[in-house]
Structure 1
Amino acid sequence: MSDYSTEDYGPRIEALKRSHATFERNTDYALSNVQSKLEDVESSVDQLDARERRHFESLEADLQEAKETAEARSDELEESISSTDAGMERLGRRVTALERHLRQAEGAVVVDLDADRGGKLRGLGLAVEEGLAAEAELLTPHQRNLIHYSISHHQQARQALTGHRATVRQAAAVLASTAAGDPRRKKAEEDFTTAAKAAQETQGRLGNLAKKAKNAEEQRATDDARRARSAAVIEAGQRAHTQLRVRLRSRLSDALSGADLLPVWFSTALGPMAPSRDAEEWLETALDVLAYRVTYQVTDPVLALGSTPSEGSAPRRAARFNELARDLRAWG
């Protein structure tokens, strides 16, 4: 029996051994091939890392160089700005000195921007001020909107109360005309409870709303009457404002384009000419100053706005003075 088994399985065992040897050889070859490819990949990664490091180091060096160059140029720019500021200051002093010599020279003419033959410009300026004063006594659009809101809120509350009471009456009629168990009674009970509560709350607010609405209506009526009385004055002020600006703009344009000297007060407050930037704003400020001077008869040769007015005796003029003083800070 033992001999039979050996003779039966021997060839199979030999075949398995050969197959196993072949498998080991193939596996070794595959592993060797994979190992070789892995080494190639690792080598490629190392080479790529080295290139990336060199590239990064190069970028870092370029960045440092650019930073140093920017800092150097920034220092140069600051020095240039400082030098320019100093040069402008020296130039300003020279221009002032030259202008002083010109003013003292024989035949030098200074433009009289305050000239007002017959007081026509002052009359226009006073008309403008009168119109602005009348307009200042009127309610602003925001205030009138609040008044409209108070009146409208009261009207809406009254309408809501009427609706709640109608719902209560309708629900009460259903409850009075239906027997217990009627499907309509449940909704009627809910409507009655909700509407009755809402009516009570609205009724509680209505008194205060009515008082506010009455005050609002009185304010609106007063403002409407004041508007009717002031309409002509306000309209005249608006027309005077347009006429005054046109005349002053023409006068200032002639002065700026002419050869005569500008007054000291003008050059001190606004400079000798319009700036290259924001020229329109500069011109509007200059016109505001001219209008202020002709309206309030300011003739100070040095101070553009003259002396500071009293807020107690001339509140509108004082407010205008402060506003113009702030505007002039950008140009002087």
Structure 2
Amino acid sequence: MNNRNRMAIAVTGVVALATTAVLYVGLAARDRDPVAFGAAGVVSLTPGPRLLFRGTADADRGHLVTVSQADPGGPRAVSQVSCTRVHAAGGTGICLYTNDDLTTSLTVLDERLEKKREVPLFGVASRARVSPTGRMVTWTVFAVGDSYNLGVFSTRVGILDTATGEVTNTLEDYAVTMNGRPYGAADLHFWGATFAKDGNRFFATMSTGGHRYLVEGDFAARSVRTVRENVECPSLSPDGTRIAFKSAIDGDPARGWRLSVLDLSTSVVTPLAETRSVDDQAAWIDDHTVAYAIPRGVGRSDVWSVPADGSGTPHLLIPDGESPAVLG
């Protein structure tokens, strides 16, 4: 495949993702109530056997919702906080939300859903993650204006250390090692980061030259290195041994994505029983199960789960929800 065809594949994938993101944010802005921090009622991010997610039903659209992990389809606790993307761990939450002028902001939440810090983001909200301890938060936005990309959307990952206040605005500033050698290119962009328990080591997707790579990063060293190709939106398992991810079918995002799991010690990839296209960053419910959102009509999604070993069948975990996170 020549470089022109490779770049065409990359642009096609980014355009598809960006188009979805713009539609998604437009719907979120239309349906979102004003963000009302500190008025959350019974919803809490205190660690416990609960699942947090963004509601997509008419009654709770855009709001942060929690359910019992033992009964995900049961009674819901609905907060007054609204987000377009949400995640939480270790008593810390991250909320990406759309302002009235369609700009995006990030808010770090404490256990009571009260605002700890707010950061303006220059792009359209895409992904959000909190490290297991709650110290590190990371986000992905779609952005425009990169000269190499001819005005098409690209993606950027930012990281905030909530303990020190240190911010990485983009991983493009990090030193990159590809196949053991230093690498630099104008078309680098990143998305979908996930942190290890130590809060320093992380994984993300890097795109360059029409290829998408899983990279392992070191926050303190400001560096990333490639691990393998065709891995997008990684999610590290609770035991730190595997990564759930989506991969473009036949390397072509226009054909959709297959949900799989990578064993980091053996490099074995296991396709999961979910055969529908999954355009999401999966969340681990436990060491044996991953969850993800599947769209259902305009502005609606459901959270499904599937065994992480390739067995079984997909199971409807949470109706009318997306952006799931385990609080326990």
Higher strand share: 2
With structure 2 as the length reference, what TM-score do the two structures score?
Answer: 0.20
Query: Using CA pairs below 8 Å that are at least 6 residues apart, which structure has the higher relative contact order?
Result: 1
Higher helix share: 1
Return the index of the structure with the highest Cα Rg: 1
